[in-house]
Amino acid sequence: MTKLLYLIASCLLKLSLEIDTDAPCKVVSCSDSLSENVCVHQDGETIQVKACPTNYTCSNLAQFGDWNSWKDSSCSEDVPETKESNCTGNHELVTYNECCSNDDCFSKKCNDGHCKSIKVGHYCKIDDHCEPSYYCSSNNLCVQSLVTGTPCLASSQCAVGIGCNQYTYTCISFFSLGFGKASNEAKYCKSNYVRNGKCDRVSIYVDNVKLEEPFYCTVPSTCTYKWDSDNTTDTTAPCQCAGVGSNIGFCNPSLGPVRGISDVFWPKFQYSDSSCSGDDGSSIDIDTLYFCNAVSDDGKNYYNEMMTIFSDWALYHSGAIDNCSEALKLYNPSYKMDSWSKGHLPLLASFMLYLILS
């Protein structure tokens, strides 16, 4: 009897060592053996993931931020984007909007599918009617915008990619003000965050210890995001599992304007050229920036890659599903914070090298 109990006990111990049911974090791994159209399957302490076929997307990718609570998911067919035409023939479209005929544009000129702008000194109703870096003056004429460093009263007076800081009444570049500088708009700050009239950012703490990138923590513990300006807490969130079992995790930097992340990322998106004017010429929305040629293909790609890395930070750092993350339309494991910066033209550079070598 004692022997039997001993056997059962040792069996249970062995079982628990193999499966490690006490580990707070599950293991995530790429698997080829899932049946067709299944992209996430939880099998005991293991979560298996598999990429979906072409034109299909895993239906529950939102759960990837907190994947320890993943649910089984299947692939669903992509719905093709339908682009509605804005061509009404009502002379409504502004500078660089897509048009079908001259009648669609305020300027009455549709060239190569884009509305031309109103020339300097001619009649406009809004800033968006004028050329990039021109604005509509109070007497309804397009006039040249102000450059960085000049005194201003309103943001519309400042050229593309810059705005009027209402604390200094000076045209300043987006994402240019450091921590603690006075600003009335988030987008003038490097961190793209303003709080109590100043550019602010957060640092991540666990048990009152300030973490540095990549914000390693153990599960369970609480990541506390505190404002650098006064150490008050902005938000708290659980340490996220890294997908390699045991208690290995990371605090997620996408939950706030984190020091060393936000204030490094956003300044890369400063711009001084755009095909758009008015609202679109002072946008920081990535799709608008891309459409308006203020950001290149590489820049838009960088933005999207980094957004997936930020949201799947723990998996990205553990490498648990590096083999299939791209196929799953998640992050690119070889991508890094410094994979792109403006003026960094890998294609042009390699072309020059090719010219030199040949």
In whole angstroms, the minimum distance from the beta carbon of 85 to ligand NAG comes to 5
Q: CB–CB of 97/115 below 8 Å?
A: yes
Residue ranges in contact with ligand NAG by CB under 6 A: 29-30, 54-55, 80, 83-86, 98, 230-231, 323
For ligand NAG, the closer CB: 2 or 208: 208
CB of 310 to ligand NAG, least distance (A): 22
Which amino acid does the sequence have at 240?
Q
Closest to ligand NAG by CB, 174 or 205: 205
Of residues 48 and 173, the one with the C-beta less far from ligand NAG: 48
Residue 202 beta carbon to ligand NAG: minimum distance, rounded to whole angstroms = 12
DSSP 295: S
C-alpha Rg value of the chain to the nearest Å: 26
**Letter for the amino acid at 24?**
P
Rounded to a whole number of angstroms, the minimum distance from the CB of residue 31 to ligand NAG is 9
Question: What's the CA gap between 291 and 268, in Å, rounded?
Answer: 17
Q: How far apart are CA 353 and CA 343, in angstroms?
A: 16
When the beta carbons of 124 and 320 are compared against ligand NAG, the nearer one is 320
**Amino acid, res. 203:** S
Q: Is the peptide bond before 80 cis (omega within 30 degrees of 0)?
A: no
Q: How far is CA 291 from the centre of its chain?
A: 17
In this structure, what DSSP letter does residue 157 have? G
**Least distance to ligand NAG, CB of residue 194, Å:** 17
CB atoms within 10 A of CB 1: 5
Query: In the bound complex, what is the minimum distance in angstroms from residue 139's beta carbon to ligand NAG?
Result: 28
DSSP-derived 3-state class of residue 29: strand
Instruction: Tell me whether residue 54 or residue 138 sits nearer to ligand NAG (CB atom).
Output: 54
Nearer to ligand NAG (CB atom), residue 2 or residue 55: 55
Q: Least distance (Å) from ligand NAG to the CB of residue 124?
A: 19
Q: What size, in residues, is the chain? A: 358
Write out the two tokens for 280: 């679109």
- Using CA atoms, how far apart are residues 308 and 62, in angstroms rounded to an integer? 11
User: Residue 198: phi, psi to the nearest 5?
Assistant: -135, 150
Closer residue to ligand NAG, CB minimum distance, 40 or 172 = 40
